[in-house]
Structure 1
């Protein structure tokens, strides 16, 4: 195990290191240029598509769930513990400047996510049971012929799901419930496994029905709670945002109360990595559910990807990091990290209610992520082994929820390390696909623009 952990540490330093982060953001920059800054051109349209009647009932006939249900499920996967714990960890390790680089990664990540969704929808197909499936593995197989890369991506997704979308989320949920209400981990794990089993047993439509209820509720809850906190600290907001911008380019150790170890390099690397980790742009996960939407054009669903990244990072992560900076928690409590920083920041305004509020938010975020990542893992597993694996995958998924919630800190740290690496490895074949098929994306975007100009599409 020690040898495996050492090997994993080396691989992790590569897949989440500066060069890989540069590759992820650089891909977003390249796609932004060749597609004519779509995150700005389609920004208004993305909101229109999200909140239109068509988003609820679908466009056309091909697909399984509504575009809004696909978005809600994708948001369930991205808006998770990373928004509360991961974003806080970024500024704890790199200083307030990490928030700026988180925003930069999100701006270009909007284009990356849009392109991922476009390709997944364009190359989607039905499995043996008649369910729509899509994602990087299908793109690689159909558009590049690189079946071995497609197989590797499916394997990484199927395995990473158990860590990043299951055991670590179950443990985060159990820890949140314990902090807020004093309930032992094992009881939360059993309840979470039961609630998850009730949903995933019904397949994608059941998952989508659950996420369309849970996700809007949890997002609005955290948004309103965070907004109230920021309003109560409104006089400190200019300095908080100013610190995020200023210390992205200046020595963060010059900041009053700076935590030892802050550097410009850490601010850039940690901010970019945690931003990517939160919104998953470039990793190829969310397109596996976006592609099941009932839509009339791949680019229409692609605009949903723009909204997904914007809401996840620019809205939710910003609430977290600015709350921590504005309340003075970042420099006032340097011994805290992760979710503890966020809990403490909210407690400065709400007291014990703030801790309960964040605990409930974290539990809901984690639960929704468990639901979404089940579909991603199942998609990877069925690509390799076929639909016959689904019952076994479901059973193992439910068992691992209990193990994750019950597991000790060292066990979970090892699981998190392996899952983090597998999650990063998903990006490599995904980015290859994005560069390889970028010409087809340009054609699809031009086709979408032309049809809208002729009023053939709304």
Structure 2
């Protein structure tokens, strides 16, 4: 698994982690924002009117309402990205990462408007009478680029696992285990059965379920978040100041947090922003293709609301909870994932300024970094190291009170451990101690710093369960529409079976590996879609102008 994770990290570095990807993503949104004259601002009010059904026509073709299409798409985006993803972005890039999530959402509102409109325009009715749409259809039917459509559909199937399935199951299981103590495999298995029961009903049942889950989960999460924000009200101002101030300076070291560069915060904020709202990824158009309307532009306007609700509202609330509570820069007791852990040569501490500078350069991959991975052996007696000449880092921080155990009974280990290129060779050794934490575990801890105290973590667990489970439901639909396009309706059932089994497996897999897989899958899906909508930019502008011409004629006072 470590070798596979190394491969994924290499791919992530070449794609989502590469310097050029955030510029491509934000650049596309910026281009369409200017090209279409800020539709996310001009059409915002109209979008709310459309989603309430004000302009609905009974004769329109489709499988579901505007509202249910919106909640289905939102259920696909409002998930671990809003709970674990925000925490992961702040853990990596500091407060400034939240600013770049905002920027991604603002320009993403336009990107989503464009991709949903074009995809809805070229949707088709399948043999069973249901609607099928998505970027693969405009790529095929309008651009005559079958190869690009196939590439996108394959990437959609991969992303249905890497975005909608594996990270969701993994975060649910981790959160439920830490909060209630339930075995991750049991949690994954039970939810896997429920998932199978829902997705067998197709878009009608999926839309019905998500239209009930989304409002409920948003309300529960909001109540818990406000309890923390009001309990730490004096820290809200400084939190906002740090988000804005660190954009141009990078985040300085504070507590166990060793700092982050401007470039790293930008890259990770944009990357996590995309994971959260999926603007440009091409997933939401698949859900919106089922909406009952003959006006593709009106459905595109409905989709403008998604990044606003998902990122600018929900992710901001999560970010303020984490920043105002202060837990993001504190070390906490946890079990170390091997992929988060690195043993480096030399003795360093985060209380010494010169050591901080050296560690800062190392974890941010700067050219000035002088720290190297440790190679050799360390001696352990009764779970404690008695060797010197090395420092154990976990989750981008200097680990403290480190303990080495083995077996189900967590017996204290005694003996020598071989270390090669900073990693332990022995697989059955469990390493624990105090370090920074990230993802859903960090958010759950932050929710205990409010009026509800320790009970706050239950809100995160319940919220995460609803958020992530609804995301898995929505993404199963995206994947089966892609399979329908690639191999026909007969391929859908085998896909759903594999999807459910993968959901169960992910409950007991490595957290960091799953996040890295999702980061790679997102970019593989996004790039073909961005190319496609850019090629159809003129048609998009013409469609918008035609929509308003027709609208004014039909609604003349």
Normalised by the length of structure 2, the TM-score is 0.78
Aligned to 2:278: 280
Query: Is the 8 Å Cα contact of residues 121 and 290 (structure 1) preserved in structure 2?
Result: yes
Offset at 1:220?
1.6
| Structure 2 SS opposite 1:454 | helix
Aligned to 2:99: 100
Offset at 1:128?
2.8
Q: Name the structure with the higher strand share.
A: 2
What is the CA deviation profile of residues 404-446 of structure 1, one whole-angstrom value per residue up to 9, with x for unaligned ones?
22x332xx54454334312211111101111001111101111
Aligned to 1:228: 227
Q: Which sections of structure 2, spanning at least 5 residues, go unmatched?
A: 332-434
Deviates more, 1:331-340 or 1:433-442: 331-340
Equivalent of residue 308 in structure 2, options 287, 310, 313: 310
Distance 2:163 2:462 in 1: 20
Distance 1:158 1:256 in 2: 41
Distance 1:78 1:326 in 2: 25
Equivalent of residue 522 in structure 2, options 381, 398, 423: 423
| Structure 2 SS opposite 1:295 | coil
Distance 1:109 1:192 in 2: 32
Aligned to 1:371: 473
Aligned to 2:135: 136
Query: Is the 8 Å Cα contact of residues 159 and 422 (structure 1) preserved in structure 2?
Result: yes
Offset at 1:95?
1.0
Offset at 1:194?
1.6
Distance 1:216 1:431 in 2: 30
Aligned to 1:43: 44
Aligned to 1:25: 26
Rg: which structure is higher? 2
Q: Which sections of structure 1, spanning at least 5 residues, go unmatched?
A: none
Equivalent of residue 267 in structure 1, options 250, 265, 269: 265
Aligned to 1:155: 154
* Pair 207,332 (structure 1): closer, same or farther in 2 beyond 3 Å: same
| Structure 2 SS opposite 1:165 | coil
* Pair 424,182 (structure 1): closer, same or farther in 2 beyond 3 Å: same
Aligned to 1:341: 442
Offset at 1:159?
2.1
* Pair 187,238 (structure 1): closer, same or farther in 2 beyond 3 Å: same
* Pair 306,124 (structure 1): closer, same or farther in 2 beyond 3 Å: same
Equivalent of residue 447 in structure 1, options 546, 551, 554: 546
* Pair 457,402 (structure 1): closer, same or farther in 2 beyond 3 Å: farther
Distance 2:11 2:318 in 1: 29
* Pair 252,41 (structure 1): closer, same or farther in 2 beyond 3 Å: same
Aligned to 2:196: 197
Equivalent of residue 288 in structure 2, options 277, 287, 290: 290
More contact order relative to length (CA 8 Å, sep ≥ 6): 1
Structure 1's consecutive aligned runs of 4 or more residues displaced over 6 angstroms after TM superposition are none
Distance 1:432 1:234 in 2: 44
Quick check: 1:183 aligned with 2:182? yes
Aligned to 2:12: 12
* Pair 306,258 (structure 1): closer, same or farther in 2 beyond 3 Å: farther
Aligned to 1:123: 122
Aligned to 1:392: 494
Query: Is the 8 Å Cα contact of residues 162 and 517 (structure 2) preserved in structure 1?
Result: yes
Distance 1:413 1:374 in 2: 22
